[in-house]
Structure 1
Amino acid sequence: MIVAFRRRILDRFVLRPTRNELDIGSKQRRWFQSGRHRDEYFVSETTPSESNDSWGGPELLVIKFPGTAGRAERATGWPGQLLENVHVRLCTWNAPGYGRSTGRASLSNIPARARPFVSHLLDQIDPKRTRVWLTGNSLGCATATYLASEFGDRLSGLILRNPPPLIETVKGVADRYPMGRLAHAIAESLPPEMNLHQSAPKVTVPTVMLQSELDELVPPELQEGVFDRLPDPKRRVLLKGIGHAGLINEDHQQDVDEVIGWLWQQSR
């Protein structure tokens, strides 16, 4: 009972779910039914004029997991547009409690619902023709890394942007306030599936990590602790001059292009 109560409080600390209607642009809204729950996700395609594969389906499936205040409706075509002459399909998931995905937003519900969702997408492809990457932004890194540890033999790569080890991150934020140490026990109630320190060493696919130099939410030393736990092969890019939510700009583009190209070569 105490752990369940603490986890409820932790959910309130960490998650920022919204359900308002958002413009989806040219993306397609799709649904995945799992038991009594329904997950909403959005699909877009990056189809080149020329491709090395003539079979017609995607050569790369990218499954994306947004951050704590993120929504699948706002997902971009990144990193698909960085791969020339590659047919990329991007599927971005709304976690429980976000958008039209049913259920309560909670750190326990996220891995429990994400696992069958990813399994469903993997069952739809031909593994001999389609490579699969998982990508996570901020909180989504915990989800993507857990899933990479579970489905490693069916995946080809993992991309993480500002991964937060949640226990240490919550404690760090709490310590900025009077009596912040009272929140430490709440942070320790984190479900193990969302603990990057536990899941990162179990990853068996090549990994790229993008790290904001001036991240005010997840300090670089915490991100480096995650990177150190990831097995090789792995690559890291320091995004100089930007904070946690900063945008990749032309100063970073060459390094980002290089690591995405590296990951594609590793995948093939």
Structure 2
Amino acid sequence: MLSLLVTLLLMYLSVCLLLFVAQRKFMYFPTPPLLHFSPPMEATQIIFENEGESLSGWVVNEGHSKALLYYGGNAENIEYNIPFFKENLTDYTVYLIAYRGYGDSTGKPTEVNLYSDALHIFDRVIADHEQVSLLGRSLGSGVATYVATHRQVDKLILVTPFDSTANVAKSVYWMFPVSWLIKDKYESAKRAPNIDARTTIIYAENDNVIPRESTEYLIEAFSHRLEDSILIRSADHNDISEYPDYVTGLKRALD
């Protein structure tokens, strides 16, 4: 019996070690460049350089005084958002920049790297616009709350967001000490009290990626600072932007 317990303990510790060493392979799912992609004529390619890495993306609706920085979800090709923003946010110049290791951007994604890139890009963009708002979706919501804590942001919109990646991971890997193992925590709920931007949270009724409790903890963390929280009925994590109520809510948040 003792031998069996020791064996089980060693197996458990081995899995913990594997999760710790390979955790970023479980967290980030970089999308490869879209081969032969031809963007609409209204989209202009743009490249930012930060810490020796090249960050590639697109600018939509150029020439406006108000700008929107979009931080996408995991495994998302940002190029697919060009028609949506072109059609629905005609009063904003929208920047869609791929994270390190995603699309045509170089480097490797980590929490520290994504934060560094986001601040660098914000500082470059604010120089050309009177005000900058942020839209963070899923993984991007963690990046957006970080920028909103460290820069003067006009409006903040968080779509299918979470309170922290550690709590999301606990819902999947409940049998492991996730809080001790995870490196990239994206602790949005802890930042919420320090965010002054007008904030709106939009979330899906049938989200199959982010547990409802995680989003509700984030809503509670914003407390009176939250301008609006919008539940999109029948939507799931990946199709939320296809619902008319999402478009309506997004436009209202940016008015």
Q: If the length of structure 1 is used for normalisation, what is the TM-score?
A: 0.78
Contact 1:10 1:190 in 2 (8 A): no
Report the counterpart of residue 25 of structure 1 in structure 2.
39
What do residues 125-173 of structure 1 show as CA deviations (whole Å, max 9, x unaligned)?
A: 2x2xxx321001100000011101111x2x2101111112211001111
Report the counterpart of residue 49 of structure 1 in structure 2.
none
Task: Give ranges in structure 2 of 5+ residues lacking alignment.
Answer: 1-17
Q: Give secondary structure in 2 for the equivalent of 1:75.
A: helix
The one-letter amino acid of 1:21's match is: L
Percent identity, aligned pairs only, is: 20
Report the counterpart of residue 69 of structure 2 in structure 1.
63
C-alpha distance in 2 between matches for 1:156 and 1:116 = 17
User: Is the alpha carbon distance of 1:121 and 1:259 closer, same or farther for their aligned partners in structure 2, counting shifts above 3 Å?
Assistant: closer
- 1:163 equivalent among 158, 161, 164: 161
User: Is the alpha carbon distance of 1:200 and 1:148 closer, same or farther for their aligned partners in structure 2, counting shifts above 3 Å?
Assistant: same
Contact 2:31 2:103 in 1 (8 A): yes
Matches within 5 A, 1:1-268: 9-22=22-35, 23-26=37-40, 27-45=43-61, 57-78=63-84, 81-82=87-88, 87-125=91-129, 127=130, 131-151=131-151, 153=152, 155-164=153-162, 165-175=164-174, 180-187=175-182, 189-191=183-185, 194-230=186-222, 231-249=224-242, 252-253=244-245, 256-257=247-248, 260-264=251-255
The CA deviation at 1:7 is 6.4
Contact 2:88 2:247 in 1 (8 A): no
Contact 1:7 1:190 in 2 (8 A): no
User: Is the alpha carbon distance of 1:88 and 1:195 closer, same or farther for their aligned partners in structure 2, counting shifts above 3 Å?
Assistant: same
More deviation, 22-31/115-124: 22-31
More helix by proportion, 1 or 2? 2
Greater C-alpha Rg: 2
Contact 1:62 1:91 in 2 (8 A): yes
More deviation, 200-209/13-22: 13-22
C-alpha distance in 2 between matches for 1:72 and 1:181 = 33
Contact 2:166 2:178 in 1 (8 A): no
Contact 2:53 2:107 in 1 (8 A): yes
C-alpha distance in 2 between matches for 1:60 and 1:240 = 30
Task: Give ranges in structure 1 of 5+ residues lacking alignment.
Answer: 47-56
